Homo-oligomer: A and B are copies of this chain.
Amino acid sequence: MSEKRQLILDVDTGTDDAIAIMAALLSPEFEVLGICTVSGNLPLANTTENTLRVVSLLAPQVPVIRGCAGPIVRDLDPRRKYCDNEEVLEDEDGNRIAFHVEEFDGLPPARIAPAPTNAVCWMVETLRAATKKVDLVLVGPLTNFALALRADPSIVEHVGQIVIMGGGCEERNSTSAAEFNFFMDPEAAQIVLGCGAKIVLVTLDATHHAVLCGEDVQRMRSWRTTVGDFVAQITSERIKAYTLFQPLFKPDSASMHDALCILYLLDGSVITKTRLLPVSVDFYGGASDGRSVMDTRSVPARAPNCTVCLGTDDEKFSRMLLDILGRAKG
């Protein structure tokens, strides 16, 4: 009988998602029941293919399940879709500079195929069949799990805690008000935040300090492993994008948002500041569309529903992450 913590991952891979997946699969503390994909950083076809490659490399027995190709309802209104920041540019040589590599050419082709179902129904069935509580790590737009909750609200009884990469208190990225994952599907975020489970919200205020830097890239290259080379390559590209579009507290660094959720589950002390807060999401389509509204007033109007992570021990983060990634051989 397994004493491991059972996890379901939900990802829009995406470079930092790839690293989160690797960290989970390389941690013996976890049993990953399955990895669901969703549209987000890239279209669903890409996030699924990228996920299949990562899983093929490290744990081909773990099912990858294709999820939703778009948000629940936000794309019914074409006027809601545009971020107001730059995310993709070309450098002077015509090379694409972006946060996310479209295709994971640095990894071998996938040896596995997606499961013959969809993420919504797979989540419902897997949770209903669970014999102990399962933790969810949701690091893309929250479409899949929100729809699963709508299809069968009773699944929440089988959930341990939900660790979400999403939202921001003082920090934001996609717009002047909102973080990317919440912005891409605000209604899904609001559904999940209201589901009644224990929720840990790993916000941009924390993840903007969960960085790898140029030195870390060098160290990973020195391993001469597939994982090391691949993570070094994508980190290096992310560093270029952050330097250009969103300079962080530390020069020559890039945030690895999603990986922080896995590290938090392994060792909560990587998070240096949390607050228990009422959090809702604006889904009205205006200047604050997708904003995580946190009631930080001294006398809040509602009871708290989230443990909000607001700070990261950046040295511990990079040390832990390289430790784990360094376990991959070959």
Contact B286 A284 (CB under 8 A): yes
CB distance from A204 to the nearest CB of B (A): 10
Q: How far is the CA of A25 from the CA of B299 in the complex (A)?
A: 35
Q: How far is the CA of A187 from the CA of B294 in the complex (A)?
A: 23
Q: How far is the CA of A14 from the CA of B190 in the complex (A)?
A: 30
Judged by DSSP, the binding face of A is loop
CB distance from A288 to the nearest CB of B (A): 3
Give the chain B neighbours of A124 by CB distance below 8 A: 118, 121
Q: Which of A2-10, A67-75, A98-106 lies at the interface?
A: A67-75
Q: How far is the CA of A280 from the CA of B172 in the complex (A)?
A: 15
The 9 listed contacts between A and B (C-beta, < 8 Å) are A69-B153, A72-B150, A147-B151, A176-B297, A177-B293, A280-B287, A282-B282, A283-B286, A284-B288
Report the copy number of this chain in the oligomer: 4
Q: Mark A305-321, 1 if CB is under 8 A from B, else 0.
A: 00000000000000000
Q: Mark A103-139, 1 if CB is under 8 A from B, else 0.
A: 0000000000000001111001100000000000000
Contact A187 B76 (CB under 8 A): yes
A sample of 8 more A-B contacts (CB under 8 A), given A282-B284, A283-B287, A288-B291, is A72-B187, A79-B79, A119-B151, A121-B125, A245-B299, A280-B287, A281-B287, A287-B293
Contact A176 B300 (CB under 8 A): yes
- Which residue from B121, B246, B288, B298 sits with its C-beta under 8 Å from A247? B298
Q: Mark A139-153, 1 if CB is under 8 A from B, else 0.
A: 000010001001111
Contact B286 A246 (CB under 8 A): no
A301 at the interface (CB under 8 A from B): yes
A235 at the interface (CB under 8 A from B): no
A173 at the interface (CB under 8 A from B): yes
Give the chain B neighbours of A84 by CB distance below 8 A: 301-302
Number of interface residues of A (CB under 8 A): 57
Give the chain B neighbours of A170 by CB distance below 8 A: 170, 296
- Which residue from B73, B281, B288, B295 sits with its C-beta under 8 Å from A72? B73
- Which residue from B77, B143, B246, B296 sits with its C-beta under 8 Å from A176? B296
Give the chain B neighbours of A246 by CB distance below 8 A: 297-299
A323 at the interface (CB under 8 A from B): no
CB distance from A137 to the nearest CB of B (A): 21
Contact B283 A76 (CB under 8 A): yes
Q: How far is the CA of A185 from the CA of B176 in the complex (A)?
A: 21
A85 at the interface (CB under 8 A from B): yes
A196 at the interface (CB under 8 A from B): no
Q: How far is the CA of A246 from the CA of B293 in the complex (A)?
A: 18
Give the chain B neighbours of A297 by CB distance below 8 A: 85, 172-173, 176, 246
A278 at the interface (CB under 8 A from B): yes
A86 at the interface (CB under 8 A from B): yes
A285 at the interface (CB under 8 A from B): yes
The closest CB in chain B to the CB of A121 belongs to B121
CB distance from A272 to the nearest CB of B (A): 19
